Copies of this chain bind each other. A is one copy, B any other.
Amino acid sequence: MKKLMVVYGLLIVSFLVYVVMYRMDEGRSAAWEDGGLRGSIGENYVMVTFQSGMEYWKNILKGFEDGGDALGVSVEYRGATQYDVKEQIMVLEQVIAKKPAGIALSAIDSSALTATINKAVDAGIPVVLFDADAQGSKAYSFLATNNYNAGAAAADKMAQLLGREGEVGIITQSGQQNHADRTSGFKEAIAHRYPAMKVVAVKEGKGDAIIWRDAVLEMMEEHPDLRGVFATEASGGAGAADAVIAAGRKGELRIIGFDTNKETLDRISDGTVSATIAQGTWNMGYWSLQYLFHLHHGLTVPAPTLGNDVAPLPPRVDTGITIVTRENVDDFYAK
Protein backbone atom coordinates (compact mmCIF):
# COMPACT_ATOMS: atom_id res chain seq x y z
CA MET A 1 0.00 0.00 0.00
CA LYS A 2 2.81 2.43 0.93
CA LYS A 3 4.77 1.42 -2.19
CA LEU A 4 1.70 2.21 -4.28
CA MET A 5 1.45 5.64 -2.67
CA VAL A 6 5.11 6.33 -3.56
CA VAL A 7 4.52 5.33 -7.18
CA TYR A 8 1.36 7.45 -7.13
CA GLY A 9 3.37 10.42 -5.78
CA LEU A 10 6.17 10.01 -8.33
CA LEU A 11 3.63 9.88 -11.14
CA ILE A 12 2.00 13.10 -9.97
CA VAL A 13 5.40 14.84 -9.81
CA SER A 14 6.39 13.61 -13.29
CA PHE A 15 3.02 14.70 -14.57
CA LEU A 16 3.47 18.21 -13.13
CA VAL A 17 7.00 18.45 -14.55
CA TYR A 18 5.63 17.59 -17.98
CA VAL A 19 2.86 20.15 -17.64
CA VAL A 20 5.38 22.86 -16.74
CA MET A 21 7.69 21.86 -19.61
CA TYR A 22 4.79 21.86 -22.00
CA ARG A 23 3.76 25.36 -20.92
CA MET A 24 7.34 26.61 -21.28
CA ASP A 25 7.52 25.15 -24.73
CA GLU A 26 4.28 26.86 -25.67
CA GLY A 27 5.84 30.13 -24.53
CA ARG A 28 8.89 29.50 -26.69
CA SER A 29 6.78 28.66 -29.70
CA ALA A 30 4.89 31.92 -29.37
CA ALA A 31 8.19 33.82 -29.24
CA TRP A 32 9.37 32.09 -32.38
CA GLU A 33 6.19 33.09 -34.05
CA ASP A 34 6.56 36.70 -32.89
CA GLY A 35 10.29 36.92 -33.65
CA GLY A 36 10.27 35.64 -37.22
CA LEU A 37 8.32 36.73 -40.28
CA ARG A 38 5.63 34.15 -40.92
CA GLY A 39 2.12 34.18 -42.27
CA SER A 40 -0.46 31.43 -42.29
CA ILE A 41 -1.19 28.80 -44.87
CA GLY A 42 -4.67 30.29 -45.22
CA GLU A 43 -3.19 33.48 -46.67
CA ASN A 44 -3.39 33.26 -50.44
CA TYR A 45 -1.28 35.49 -52.72
CA VAL A 46 -2.01 35.45 -56.45
CA MET A 47 0.31 36.19 -59.36
CA VAL A 48 -1.55 37.31 -62.52
CA THR A 49 -0.11 37.63 -66.03
CA PHE A 50 -1.21 37.56 -69.66
CA GLN A 51 -0.04 34.92 -72.20
CA SER A 52 0.21 32.38 -69.43
CA GLY A 53 2.13 29.86 -71.54
CA MET A 54 5.18 32.13 -71.93
CA GLU A 55 8.45 30.62 -70.68
CA TYR A 56 9.47 34.06 -69.40
CA TRP A 57 7.02 33.92 -66.46
CA LYS A 58 8.39 30.65 -65.08
CA ASN A 59 11.28 32.09 -63.11
CA ILE A 60 9.14 34.97 -61.83
CA LEU A 61 6.65 32.41 -60.52
CA LYS A 62 9.56 30.46 -58.98
CA GLY A 63 10.57 33.59 -57.05
CA PHE A 64 6.93 34.17 -56.02
CA GLU A 65 6.67 30.55 -54.80
CA ASP A 66 10.01 30.72 -52.99
CA GLY A 67 8.76 33.86 -51.23
CA GLY A 68 5.59 32.00 -50.23
CA ASP A 69 7.63 29.07 -48.90
CA ALA A 70 9.95 31.37 -46.96
CA LEU A 71 7.02 33.17 -45.30
CA GLY A 72 4.79 30.11 -44.88
CA VAL A 73 1.90 31.36 -47.01
CA SER A 74 0.02 30.00 -50.03
CA VAL A 75 0.55 31.23 -53.58
CA GLU A 76 -1.44 30.73 -56.75
CA TYR A 77 -0.85 31.53 -60.43
CA ARG A 78 -3.57 32.84 -62.74
CA GLY A 79 -2.98 34.02 -66.26
CA ALA A 80 -5.00 35.14 -69.23
CA THR A 81 -4.12 32.59 -71.91
CA GLN A 82 -3.96 35.11 -74.74
CA TYR A 83 -2.36 38.50 -75.34
CA ASP A 84 -5.80 40.05 -74.75
CA VAL A 85 -6.65 43.05 -72.56
CA LYS A 86 -10.28 42.02 -71.94
CA GLU A 87 -9.31 38.51 -70.95
CA GLN A 88 -6.77 39.80 -68.43
CA ILE A 89 -9.31 42.20 -66.91
CA MET A 90 -11.75 39.27 -66.58
CA VAL A 91 -9.12 37.08 -64.88
CA LEU A 92 -8.22 39.93 -62.53
CA GLU A 93 -11.91 40.46 -61.64
CA GLN A 94 -12.24 36.75 -60.83
CA VAL A 95 -9.16 36.90 -58.59
CA ILE A 96 -10.47 40.00 -56.76
CA ALA A 97 -13.80 38.26 -56.11
CA LYS A 98 -11.96 35.61 -54.07
CA LYS A 99 -10.49 38.31 -51.78
CA PRO A 100 -6.87 37.08 -51.77
CA ALA A 101 -4.24 38.43 -49.34
CA GLY A 102 -2.52 40.20 -52.23
CA ILE A 103 -2.13 40.35 -56.02
CA ALA A 104 1.08 40.66 -58.07
CA LEU A 105 0.21 41.69 -61.60
CA SER A 106 2.01 42.18 -64.90
CA ALA A 107 -0.23 44.63 -66.77
CA ILE A 108 -0.75 43.87 -70.45
CA ASP A 109 -1.66 47.54 -71.04
CA SER A 110 -0.44 50.49 -68.99
CA SER A 111 -3.84 52.20 -68.74
CA ALA A 112 -6.61 49.66 -69.50
CA LEU A 113 -6.17 47.84 -66.19
CA THR A 114 -6.05 50.90 -63.93
CA ALA A 115 -9.74 50.85 -62.96
CA THR A 116 -9.65 47.16 -62.00
CA ILE A 117 -6.38 47.56 -60.05
CA ASN A 118 -7.86 50.53 -58.14
CA LYS A 119 -10.98 48.49 -57.38
CA ALA A 120 -8.81 45.85 -55.70
CA VAL A 121 -6.83 48.41 -53.69
CA ASP A 122 -10.01 50.23 -52.63
CA ALA A 123 -11.39 46.88 -51.44
CA GLY A 124 -8.31 46.49 -49.22
CA ILE A 125 -6.47 43.97 -51.41
CA PRO A 126 -2.82 45.02 -51.84
CA VAL A 127 -1.59 45.10 -55.45
CA VAL A 128 1.97 45.37 -56.75
CA LEU A 129 3.06 45.35 -60.37
CA PHE A 130 6.00 43.55 -61.94
CA ASP A 131 7.65 43.57 -65.37
CA ALA A 132 4.98 45.78 -67.02
CA ASP A 133 3.63 48.88 -65.28
CA ALA A 134 0.20 50.52 -65.02
CA GLN A 135 1.31 54.07 -64.32
CA GLY A 136 -1.14 56.19 -62.42
CA SER A 137 -2.88 53.21 -60.82
CA LYS A 138 -3.05 52.77 -57.05
CA ALA A 139 -0.69 49.78 -57.09
CA TYR A 140 1.92 50.19 -54.36
CA SER A 141 5.10 49.30 -56.24
CA PHE A 142 6.54 48.42 -59.61
CA LEU A 143 9.35 45.85 -59.77
CA ALA A 144 11.06 45.52 -63.14
CA THR A 145 14.24 45.74 -65.17
CA ASN A 146 15.60 49.22 -65.73
CA ASN A 147 15.96 48.71 -69.47
CA TYR A 148 18.10 51.80 -70.06
CA ASN A 149 20.66 50.49 -67.56
CA ALA A 150 20.42 47.01 -69.07
CA GLY A 151 21.33 48.48 -72.48
CA ALA A 152 24.25 50.37 -70.94
CA ALA A 153 25.50 47.16 -69.28
CA ALA A 154 25.36 45.43 -72.68
CA ALA A 155 27.51 48.28 -74.07
CA ASP A 156 30.07 47.80 -71.28
CA LYS A 157 30.22 44.08 -72.02
CA MET A 158 30.58 44.73 -75.79
CA ALA A 159 33.43 47.18 -75.09
CA GLN A 160 35.16 44.54 -72.99
CA LEU A 161 34.75 41.93 -75.76
CA LEU A 162 36.11 44.26 -78.45
CA GLY A 163 38.96 45.82 -76.50
CA ARG A 164 37.07 49.13 -76.38
CA GLU A 165 37.22 49.82 -80.11
CA GLY A 166 35.37 49.21 -83.34
CA GLU A 167 32.02 49.54 -85.12
CA VAL A 168 28.88 48.00 -83.66
CA GLY A 169 25.21 47.70 -84.66
CA ILE A 170 21.87 47.27 -82.91
CA ILE A 171 18.79 45.29 -83.93
CA THR A 172 15.64 46.08 -82.01
CA GLN A 173 11.88 45.75 -82.00
CA SER A 174 9.96 48.89 -83.00
CA GLY A 175 7.16 50.51 -81.04
CA GLN A 176 7.89 49.18 -77.56
CA GLN A 177 9.23 51.36 -74.77
CA ASN A 178 11.39 48.65 -73.17
CA HIS A 179 13.22 48.04 -76.46
CA ALA A 180 13.62 51.77 -77.10
CA ASP A 181 15.13 52.13 -73.60
CA ARG A 182 17.58 49.27 -74.15
CA THR A 183 18.63 50.83 -77.45
CA SER A 184 19.23 54.31 -76.04
CA GLY A 185 21.04 52.91 -72.97
CA PHE A 186 23.41 51.03 -75.29
CA LYS A 187 23.91 53.96 -77.69
CA GLU A 188 24.51 56.55 -75.00
CA ALA A 189 26.93 54.36 -73.05
CA ILE A 190 28.99 53.77 -76.20
CA ALA A 191 28.93 57.50 -77.05
CA HIS A 192 29.88 58.69 -73.56
CA ARG A 193 32.28 56.00 -72.37
CA TYR A 194 34.03 54.53 -75.43
CA PRO A 195 35.44 57.17 -77.80
CA ALA A 196 37.03 54.54 -80.08
CA MET A 197 33.71 52.74 -80.60
CA LYS A 198 30.77 53.75 -82.76
CA VAL A 199 27.18 52.59 -83.29
CA VAL A 200 27.06 52.59 -87.10
CA ALA A 201 23.63 51.00 -87.65
CA VAL A 202 20.31 50.54 -85.86
CA LYS A 203 17.73 48.30 -87.52
CA GLU A 204 14.21 48.52 -86.12
CA GLY A 205 11.49 46.07 -86.99
CA LYS A 206 9.56 43.03 -85.90
CA GLY A 207 9.75 39.41 -86.70
CA ASP A 208 11.34 36.03 -86.29
CA ALA A 209 14.94 34.83 -86.47
CA ILE A 210 14.88 34.52 -90.29
CA ILE A 211 14.00 38.17 -90.81
CA TRP A 212 16.67 39.23 -88.34
CA ARG A 213 19.27 36.96 -89.96
CA ASP A 214 18.75 38.76 -93.26
CA ALA A 215 18.84 42.15 -91.55
CA VAL A 216 22.19 41.36 -89.93
CA LEU A 217 23.63 39.97 -93.18
CA GLU A 218 22.62 43.25 -94.82
CA MET A 219 24.18 45.22 -91.97
CA MET A 220 27.44 43.28 -92.41
CA GLU A 221 27.49 44.11 -96.10
CA GLU A 222 26.81 47.79 -95.54
CA HIS A 223 29.43 47.99 -92.79
CA PRO A 224 32.32 45.64 -93.60
CA ASP A 225 34.18 46.72 -90.43
CA LEU A 226 31.27 45.77 -88.18
CA ARG A 227 32.64 43.92 -85.15
CA GLY A 228 29.60 43.49 -82.89
CA VAL A 229 25.79 43.36 -82.78
CA PHE A 230 23.52 43.97 -79.79
CA ALA A 231 20.04 42.45 -80.15
CA THR A 232 17.47 43.88 -77.71
CA GLU A 233 15.29 40.75 -77.84
CA ALA A 234 15.66 37.01 -78.09
CA SER A 235 14.71 36.33 -81.72
CA GLY A 236 17.09 39.08 -82.84
CA GLY A 237 19.94 37.32 -81.06
CA ALA A 238 19.05 34.02 -82.73
CA GLY A 239 18.88 35.75 -86.13
CA ALA A 240 22.25 37.41 -85.62
CA ALA A 241 23.71 34.01 -84.68
CA ASP A 242 22.37 32.49 -87.90
CA ALA A 243 23.84 35.42 -89.86
CA VAL A 244 27.39 35.05 -88.53
CA ILE A 245 27.26 31.30 -89.16
CA ALA A 246 26.02 31.91 -92.73
CA ALA A 247 28.78 34.47 -93.27
CA GLY A 248 31.43 32.22 -91.73
CA ARG A 249 32.26 34.80 -89.04
CA LYS A 250 31.28 32.80 -85.94
CA GLY A 251 33.14 33.94 -82.84
CA GLU A 252 34.72 36.82 -84.76
CA LEU A 253 31.70 39.12 -85.02
CA ARG A 254 30.51 39.38 -81.44
CA ILE A 255 26.82 39.12 -80.52
CA ILE A 256 25.12 40.13 -77.30
CA GLY A 257 21.50 39.02 -76.96
CA PHE A 258 18.69 39.54 -74.48
CA ASP A 259 16.81 37.11 -72.22
CA THR A 260 17.56 33.45 -71.62
CA ASN A 261 15.38 31.24 -73.80
CA LYS A 262 16.87 27.86 -74.61
CA GLU A 263 17.97 28.77 -78.15
CA THR A 264 20.00 31.73 -76.92
CA LEU A 265 21.61 29.68 -74.15
CA ASP A 266 22.54 26.96 -76.67
CA ARG A 267 24.17 29.61 -78.89
CA ILE A 268 26.20 30.79 -75.91
CA SER A 269 27.25 27.23 -75.12
CA ASP A 270 28.49 26.68 -78.69
CA GLY A 271 30.26 30.07 -78.78
CA THR A 272 28.17 31.77 -81.48
CA VAL A 273 26.66 34.31 -79.08
CA SER A 274 29.13 35.91 -76.65
CA ALA A 275 26.70 37.02 -73.97
CA THR A 276 23.05 37.61 -73.17
CA ILE A 277 21.28 39.80 -70.63
CA ALA A 278 19.30 37.78 -68.07
CA GLN A 279 16.63 39.85 -66.35
CA GLY A 280 16.19 39.59 -62.57
CA THR A 281 12.99 37.61 -62.95
CA TRP A 282 13.34 35.67 -59.66
CA ASN A 283 13.71 39.01 -57.86
CA MET A 284 10.48 40.29 -59.47
CA GLY A 285 8.51 37.37 -58.07
CA TYR A 286 10.22 37.02 -54.70
CA TRP A 287 10.13 40.71 -53.72
CA SER A 288 6.58 41.13 -55.06
CA LEU A 289 5.50 38.43 -52.59
CA GLN A 290 7.48 40.05 -49.76
CA TYR A 291 5.90 43.45 -50.47
CA LEU A 292 2.37 42.02 -50.56
CA PHE A 293 3.04 40.17 -47.30
CA HIS A 294 4.20 43.40 -45.63
CA LEU A 295 1.12 45.27 -46.86
CA HIS A 296 -1.26 42.49 -45.81
CA HIS A 297 0.23 42.34 -42.31
CA GLY A 298 0.43 46.13 -41.86
CA LEU A 299 4.22 46.02 -41.44
CA THR A 300 5.01 49.12 -43.54
CA VAL A 301 5.93 52.60 -42.32
CA PRO A 302 4.11 54.80 -43.20
CA ALA A 303 0.92 52.74 -43.27
CA PRO A 304 -0.91 52.67 -46.62
CA THR A 305 -4.05 53.85 -44.79
CA LEU A 306 -2.57 57.37 -44.64
CA GLY A 307 -4.02 57.85 -48.10
CA ASN A 308 -2.66 59.15 -51.39
CA ASP A 309 0.72 60.83 -51.81
CA VAL A 310 2.13 58.16 -49.51
CA ALA A 311 4.76 55.51 -50.35
CA PRO A 312 4.46 52.70 -47.78
CA LEU A 313 6.86 50.66 -49.94
CA PRO A 314 9.61 51.46 -52.40
CA PRO A 315 7.51 52.56 -55.41
CA ARG A 316 10.11 51.52 -58.00
CA VAL A 317 12.56 48.63 -57.82
CA ASP A 318 15.16 47.89 -60.45
CA THR A 319 15.30 44.11 -60.25
CA GLY A 320 18.68 44.00 -61.96
CA ILE A 321 20.33 41.92 -64.66
CA THR A 322 22.96 39.25 -64.87
CA ILE A 323 25.31 38.95 -67.82
CA VAL A 324 25.31 35.36 -69.03
CA THR A 325 28.40 34.06 -70.81
CA ARG A 326 29.89 30.63 -71.52
CA GLU A 327 31.28 30.64 -67.96
CA ASN A 328 27.94 30.75 -66.15
CA VAL A 329 25.47 29.63 -68.86
CA ASP A 330 24.81 26.29 -67.14
CA ASP A 331 23.16 28.11 -64.21
CA PHE A 332 20.51 29.51 -66.55
CA TYR A 333 19.08 26.40 -68.18
CA ALA A 334 15.65 25.55 -66.69
CA LYS A 335 16.00 22.93 -63.99
Contacts and interface: CB of A to CB of B under 8 A. Distances in A.
Q: Give the contact-size bracket for chain A.
A: 35 or more
A120 B11 CA distance: 56
A320 interface: yes
A113 B302 CA distance: 32
A328 interface: yes
Contacts of A26: 25
A17 B71 CA distance: 32
Contacts of A319: 311, 314
The winner among A12, A25, A66 for most chain B CB atoms within 10 A is A25
A134 to B, nearest CB: 17
A309 B157 contact: yes
A321 interface: yes
A83 interface: no
A306 B36 CA distance: 29
Contacts of A328: 306-307, 310
Nearest to A34: B72
A23 to B, nearest CB: 10
Nearest to A278: B302
A331 interface: yes
Copies, count: 2
Nearest to A62: B301
Nearest to A14: B15
Interface stretch (A102-110, A193-201, A282-290): A282-290
A62 B15 CA distance: 46
Nearest to A320: B311
A309 B332 CA distance: 14
B318 A317 contact: yes
A310 B153 CA distance: 11
A186 to B, nearest CB: 16
Interface in A277-335: 280, 282-283, 286-287, 290, 299, 301-302, 306-307, 309-311, 313-323, 325, 328, 331
A257 B8 CA distance: 77
Contacts of A70: 36-37, 299
Given A306-B328, A307-B328, A29 B38 contact: no
A97 interface: no
A210 interface: no
A113 to B, nearest CB: 22
A316 B318 contact: yes
Nearest to A18: B18
Interface in A119-163: 143, 146, 149, 153, 157
5 tightest Cβ-Cβ pairs between the two chains A and B:
A311-B320, A36-B38, A35-B72, A36-B36, A309-B323
Interface of A: 1, 4, 7-8, 11-12, 14-15, 18-19, 21-22, 25-26, 28-29, 32-33, 35-38, 62-63, 66, 69-72, 143, 146, 149, 153, 157, 280, 282-283, 286-287, 290, 299, 301-302, 306-307, 309-311, 313-323, 325, 328, 331
9 contacts: A4-B4, A32-B33, A35-B38, A35-B69, A37-B37, A37-B70, A306-B322, A315-B318, A316-B317
